[in-house]
């Protein structure tokens, strides 16, 4: 899978994309990241990527041209089969585990980092397949959201995690499923005990206990 990231701050991704599971996924050729500096596609000598909004208002708006030219350089466009372009946006659809699962099956995912007060609406209308947000709050830019989305998507690619069966039982594997309490050694810490049923070896009782204690 190829994940393209359009950003005004390429250095933001230097360490995180080369750490932990994301690094291992790249080493095993399960995923490849391509970082594109949107500023390189600005159409003026000063590489301006933002302008004041028409109609007035606070803040600056990301320009449509640099994003359009950056997408063309990647040979991707809205509506392609087995590919998707998404824009991180405060007005986008909330990112979910179900979306992560669908994205993980794509051959190519392109994510545009929103910035400033917003992005020219023509990007959302004509250039991307979907607008996505990771929560009901405002970030300085789309970079943190892109890392969240990338992590959630990549771990679902077959072969990235050691035991794919674990994905079927983890939190959010089904809508509303938040997982059950987990314990490990030591059996007794201070006066905090592990529930006796988990030590019983009776798998039927353990499964029932976990079912009864699912967070929803």
CATH classification of the domain holding 59: 3.40.1280.10
Angstrom distance (rounded) from CA 84 to CA 128: 8
Are 85 and 143 found together in one domain?
yes
Mean pLDDT of 203-214: 95
With a pLDDT cut of 70, the percent of the chain lying above it is: 93
Quote the pLDDT of residue 101. Answer: 97
Contacts of residue 216, defined as CB under 8 A and 6 or more positions apart, other chains included, come to 176, 177, 178
pTM: 0.90
Q: For residue 182, give its domain range.
A: 178-212
Tell me if 196 is assigned to some domain.
Answer: yes
CATH classification of the domain holding 197: 1.10.1270.20
Quote the pLDDT of residue 178. Answer: 78
Judge whether residue 173 has pLDDT over 70.
no
Tell me if 30 is assigned to some domain.
Answer: yes
Are 190 and 150 found together in one domain?
no
Are 110 and 21 found together in one domain?
yes
Residues written for the chain: 216
Distance of CA 199 to the CA centre of its chain: 37
Count of structural domains, the chain: 2
Give me the chain's average pLDDT, please.
93
Are 141 and 194 found together in one domain?
no
Tell me if 164 is assigned to some domain.
Answer: no
Segment 23-54, tens digit of pLDDT: 999 999 999 999 999 999 998 989 999 999 99
Segment 109-155, tens digit of pLDDT: 999 999 988 999 999 999 999 999 999 999 999 999 999 999 999 99
Are 136 and 33 found together in one domain?
yes
């Amino acid at each position: 899978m190829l994940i393209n990231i359009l950003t005004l701050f390429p250095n933001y991704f230097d360490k995180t994309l080369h750490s932990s599971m994301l690094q291992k996924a790249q080493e095993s050729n399960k995923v490849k990241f391509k970082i594109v500096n949107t500023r390189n596609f600005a159409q003026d000598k000063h590489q301006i990527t933002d302008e004041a909004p028409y109609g007035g208002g606070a803040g600056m708006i990301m320009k449509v041209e640099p994003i359009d030219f950056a997408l063309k350089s990647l040979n991707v466009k809205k509506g392609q089969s087995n590919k998707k372009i998404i824009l991180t946006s405060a007005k986008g659809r909330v990112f979910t585990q179900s979306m992560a699962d669908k994205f993980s099956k794509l051959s190519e995912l392109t994510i545009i980092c929103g910035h400033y007060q917003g992005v020219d609406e023509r990007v959302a209308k004509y250039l991307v397949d979907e607008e996505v947000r990771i929560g009901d709050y405002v970030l300085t830019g789309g970079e943190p959201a892109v890392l969240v989305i990338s992590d959630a998507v990549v771990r679902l690619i077959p072969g990235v995690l050691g035991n794919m069966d674990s994905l079927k039982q983890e939190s959010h594997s089904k809508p509303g499923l938040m997982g059950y309490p987990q314990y490990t050694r030591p059996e007794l810490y201070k006066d905090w005990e592990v529930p006796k049923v988990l030590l019983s070896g009776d798998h039927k009782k353990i499964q029932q206990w976990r079912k009864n204690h699912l967070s929803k």
